[in-house]
Structure 1
Amino acid sequence: MINKLQLNNFKKFHDETVRLNPDGLSLLAGANNSGKSTILQALAVWDFCLTVLKNEKGEQALTPAHSGQGVGLSDDEFSPIQVPSLSHLWTNLTNQVKGADGYTLSVMPTWKNEAGEERFLKISLALANDRLFIKQTSSNIETGEKTPRMAFVPPFAGIVAKEQRMSIAQRRLLTGSGLVGGVIRNLLFELESENQRKRRELKDPGGRIKNSELRKLRESDPWELLQSAMGRYFQSNLAVSPFNDLYHNYIRVSLTKGEWDKTKIKKYPKFKPRDLMAEGSGFLQWLSVFSLALDPETDVLLLDEPDAHLHPSLQTLLISELESIATNGRKQILLATHSTEILRWAEHSKILTFKNSKARYLADEGGRMGLFAGLGSEFSPRLDKLKRTKALLLVENESDIRIIKLMAEKIGTPIPDDVVVWAWTGSSKERKQLYLQLKADIPGLKAVSIRDRDDLAQNNVDGVSLRDKSEDNSNPELKLRVWQRRHIENYLLCPAAIARAAKVELDAVTTCLANHHAIVIPNNFTAQDVHQAVKDARGKDIIEVGQNSIEKTFAVSKFKIAGELSEVEICDDVKVIVADILSMFG
């Protein structure tokens, strides 16, 4: 697969060589307009131009011996990507250079053939009188030698109501224009047709397939793998209606819901199959990406923000499945993303970062944390303020800081307004790396990190300072702290405050806690050495999860409870954290 890409005058890149991991999944990450999509588009354009040259001039046009003229195209024949005009393919829209032959834009990928020998093919473009000219300008491939086959998938656009059977050229035009939804039924039709052909070949004279052969088919065939993923993740399967171009106008694909039973869906009794058109954009995005990834005709899959319409849980599943496909199918997948959820858990060596028109894979874990600082406008105002105040408070989510501020006001020591709050569920180790990356750009930065203990062993938390003993805390400008109690909500389990907030009798609260949550709050509730049962209670669940939660039972929020706590009801752990914040930031 592609191990190096050399670009000259292509959109974002004037003269740049990008090295790529030739196998598996690479995640392209960086700020808007940093060049992520440009890399994908360059390869899509190269693949399109290669196809044009082969069809118009024959395979010899790709070899070193060929020196003929280029192939001309009108702007409406150019289909791999969507651009306002063909001049937008060039850096700064400059397609004429004095002294040059007119072919001033070039894309040259390098890969290894099956014998392990390095191959390259440079394709150059010229623009004259609104016509695009394409030719091979440097190559070492031989006639008939295989070249990488690519598929480019821009962000998903809506599915059409009726989808005709299309040629490869028609599908390429729609896909390159961002209308992947317009070809999804064609993709599914081809995968299902190939699966049916394989099944016919495997059947014995009695029409049966041996269990061993069926198992192999289910483990390797793209359609079988797709149906399995659909069943496991969406409790659905797909049915492609028979198609004959002599009397069928449109491809029909319906979806059925049911219970997944290891190898098939057991349909819900009253469920009526429906067309894909009825499904949401996130589901259809997932389906189109997965179908293309499984397509045996594709060696290199170019995905531009396929996670855009997906819930974070589906983003993680998609990446996991794509990694499996890339590994087992020996494919290369390049995926551009802004998703911090994806980038947070990916191996750093798979993340290709873009900054200052340069693309490099992360060298270590620390680089991943610094990357977050440039991922879109969500972080920009926060970073601007951070550069001014140099005061960073890391919490798990926005609700945590609301609770801390309410309790800090109760004890007469409010949190300063100039402290920058950064909500993130990362571990203390990850937060430390983020701090170090930010400090490299913001000298003098100070930070306090506070997170739930969750399932961290109690002996990893200092019982007085709340220091995270599992991490090095020697840096005086960074305090890594962990609540002694499982969740911050554990510090709200004060029956008297809950009763006041809900305007109910105290007995009603204590009864609810005892009968539904098996916990009795002791008199020393605020002490750091409170009984372990209070520390280990699942405070978040008790307060806000389920019909028997405090919120549901008494119609009162955790913020209302925090606001009702008196000074003497504020736990000592909270006072330690507030003191840490004030001592660090003044």
Structure 2
Amino acid sequence: MVQSARHSSVEPNNSDTGSTLSLNDATYIPSPSYKDAGNDGVFGNFKASPRMDVMLKATASNGDNETAKLWLKAARNEGLSVQVPSANAITSAIRDRDREFSTYIPGLAGIPLSEERRATSIVLRQAAAGDANTVLRNVLLLLKQAEDAAIAHDEAPLSELTERVSAAIRGTEFRILFDDQSDYTISAQFKTAGMTDWRPLELAGIGFLQTIQIFAYIVFFKPRLLLIDEPDSHLHPDAQGRLIREIASASEKHDCQVILTTHSPSVMRALPDQANVIWMKDGTRVGNSDAARQQMGWGLLDKELVLLTEDQDTDMLRLLLGQWPELERRIAIWPLSGCGNLPKGAVLNSLQALFGNVRTLVHRDGDMMLDIEKEHWRKNWGLKPEQSWITQGADIESYFVCPNYCAAVMGVDQAQLEDRVFKVLNATASADNNDFKKKRKAAKELYPDGDATPGHADAFNDLSAKGIGFVRKKAINKLRSLIQKAYGGNQEANIGKVIPKGIELAPDLKRAIEAALQ
């Protein structure tokens, strides 16, 4: 419907009169027997004949609610009759020639053994129609050519595709070759982690091919709407979770809304909090978003450890775990929204009995606690040392606010970064900080009656001597701002979102996981 409404031969109007579109001109036709595509009858060309009515509702960036009613039915001479309202914000977005409105990614069953170079207009049409397997190499070639021709340094679509696919399937690399003067077909090759030689793309697995297609379409076409059918097919549950998180990241960057179908608990668990979950049964919506998430279950069958975290947003925790793939694949994350919701020892032992051979580990933020206070908390909570991991700094974000990591992300000299940025950041720390005093007040409640408690200044000096303690979530945004001011560009946005090769963060988390698994 949307692709037909976008066609240049369709004239918007408000008279309930359709424009005729021939089948040869239609971008997407689900079947040559298109008249049978309706649910309640055969499309006809008479006024009373069944037709497809579509009501679109959207919220504009200014908060206004917009609606558009469109319809499609059969026309004379084996054509389509399409009606699109005029003077309508949704219609304008659909018919915007500067940006593709929608693309469709069906399940793949492999790709042809070879693929000839095709005109860009043909590639665009087939991509919009869902003919993914016939033009995937052409899309990769277009990405490579766009990157080769890019003037701005940050315009690197093939590199972005590679990074996003690698987030789901580790260590992915691509090599795309085509010579206009001598080649008839496009050579597309790949490598993944552990591979030493390049392999032709037609030898890739189905799940890998669909992952490539998803990000190739987002990066190249930048559609307003992307439809994905079962993106989790043929992928390991761990890869499914990584794929969904990377789709969410890419859709946010490129301002793309994604509608996907799934039967996978791993996908449900990986969805961002803002995702709208619609549970369908027998063609009818049932339940609500929260019920759907809960009833899909936790899928612990292939896991060895449940990591119960006080954080609702688990992106940074997952990023840390991604450093150790062999551990990551053995772990399920359970967000509990606040340290007060973390289970105490007795409850944790009951969960352990319920889970059987699956171990448990509790994550608690350091919250400006001294080492002795962390031990008091474990004792008060009834937890053994191997049952808990308390961050060395105030929270998980503190692992990302360190000079060597930030210098690696930015690709700059560490000593220079410390001088230009971290001196300024550290100068803002103070024992008089309201956040520090609030956390220290909570820490004092951990001491048994009669035990002496250190003052704010003494605690601040103890934590500062270790280079930790006062860093909290707001510090990352402040750090990014200081780096942007000092160096320009936009690379600072990756702080807290990527971990460069050669850098390991939170080794204490790794040790805690290994101890819990023993």
Length-normalised TM-score, structure 2 = 0.53
Shift of 1:73: 2.9
Distance 1:538 1:69 in 2: 66
Could you tell me how far apart the structure 1 residues matched to 2:93 and 2:77 are? Answer: 32
Shift of 1:176: 6.9
1:105 matches 2:105: no
1:305 to 216, 221, 230: 230
Does residue 224 (structure 1) correspond to residue 151 (structure 2)? The answer is no
Query: What are the equivalent positions in structure 2 for 1:47-446 lying under 5 Å apart?
Result: 47-52=2-7, 54=8, 56-57=9-10, 61-64=11-14, 69-74=18-23, 80=28, 82-83=30-31, 85-96=33-44, 100-102=47-49, 104-111=51-58, 118-127=65-74, 131-141=78-88, 145-147=92-94, 149-167=101-119, 170-171=122-123, 175=127, 179-198=131-150, 201-202=151-152, 214=153, 217=154, 221-231=156-166, 233-244=169-180, 248-256=183-191, 271-347=196-272, 349-350=274-275, 351-355=277-281, 357-359=283-285, 362-364=288-290, 366-370=291-295, 397=301
Secondary structure at the aligned position of 1:91 is classed as coil
TM-superposed CA distance for 1:116, in Å, is 5.7
Note the C-alpha offset of 1:72.
3.8
> 1:2-27 deviations in whole A, cap 9, x for unaligned?
xxxxxxxxxxxxxxxxxxxxxxxxxx
Which residue pairs with 2:344 in the alignment?
460
Deviation track 1:233-287 (CA, whole Å, cap 9, x = no partner) reads 432321221342x65322222224578xxxxxxxx7xx44332112221211111
2:179 and 2:343 map into 1 onto residues whose CA distance is 66
In structure 1, the partner of 2:391 is: none
* Structure 1: gaps of 5 or more residues: 1-45, 203-213, 260-267, 373-393, 401-423, 430-451, 470-479, 490-530, 543-586
What is the CA-CA distance between 1:166 and the residue it aligns to?
A: 3.0
Query: Which residue of the partner structure matches residue 26 of structure 1?
Result: none
Distance 1:539 1:180, change over 3 A: same
Asked whether the equivalents of residues 151 and 302 of structure 1 are also in contact (C-alpha less than 8 Å), the reply is: yes
Gaps of at least 5 residues in structure 2 are 95-99, 311-331, 360-383, 388-511
Give 1:107's aligned amino acid: V
d(CA) in 1 for partners of 2:3, 2:40: 22
- Write out per-residue CA displacement over residues 521-543 of structure 1, whole angstroms, 9 at most, x where no aligned residue: xxxxxxxxxx9999x9989977x
Which letter maps to 2:30?
Answer: Q
Distance across 2 between alignment mates of 1:537 and 1:310: 25
Deviation, structure 1 residue 156: 1.4
Matches within 5 A, 1:546-557: none
Partners of 2:219 and 2:80 in 1: CA distance: 33
Whether the 8 Å contact between 2:226 and 2:258 is mirrored in structure 1 is yes
Letter of the structure 2 residue corresponding to residue 73 of structure 1? S
In structure 2, the CA distance between the partners of 1:488 and 1:310, relative to structure 1 (3 Å rule), is closer
> Aligned equivalents of 1:119 and 1:303: distance in 2?
25
Asked if structure 2 preserves the Cα contact closer than 8 Å seen for 1:152 and 1:301, the reply is yes
Contact 2:232 2:240 in 1 (8 A): yes
Separation (CA, whole Å) in 1 of partners of 2:284 and 2:182: 53
Q: Which amino acid aligns with 2:58?
A: W
One-letter amino acid of the structure 1 residue matched with residue 133 of structure 2 = G
The residue identity in structure 1 corresponding to 2:2 is D
Q: Distance in 2 between matches of 1:459 and 1:168?
A: 57
What secondary structure, in the 3-state scheme, does the structure 1 residue paired with 2:71 have?
strand
Helix, strand or coil at the partner of 2:81: strand
Q: Distance in 2 between matches of 1:168 and 1:399?
A: 45
Q: Which residue in the other structure is 2:369 paired with?
A: none
Residues 42 and 50, structure 2, Cα contact 8 Å, conserved in 1:
no
Q: How many residues align?
A: 340
* Aligned residues of 2:227 and 2:260 also touching (Cα < 8 A): yes
Larger radius of gyration, structure 1 or 2? 1
Counterpart AA for 1:62: P
Question: What's the offset of the Cα at 1:158?
Answer: 1.0
Within 5 A, what are the aligned runs for 1:500-515? none
**Larger RCO of the pair (alpha carbons < 8 Å, separation 6+):** 1
TM-score, normalised to structure 1's length?
Answer: 0.48
Q: Give the root-mean-square deviation of aligned CA atoms.
A: 4.9
Check conservation: 1:241, 1:253, Cα contact below 8 A. Answer: yes
Distance 1:293 1:284 in 2: 14
Q: Distance in 1 between matches of 2:84 and 2:299?
A: 55
Name whichever structure is richer in strand by fraction.
1
CA distance in 2, matches of 1:96, 1:240: 47
Contact 2:59 2:66 in 1 (8 A): yes
Alpha-carbon distance in structure 1 between the residues aligned to 2:103 and 2:17:
28
* Mapped partners of 1:168, 1:101: distance in 2: 40
Identity fraction in percent? 18
Quickly say closer, same or farther: Cα 1:398–1:330, change in 2 above 3 A. closer
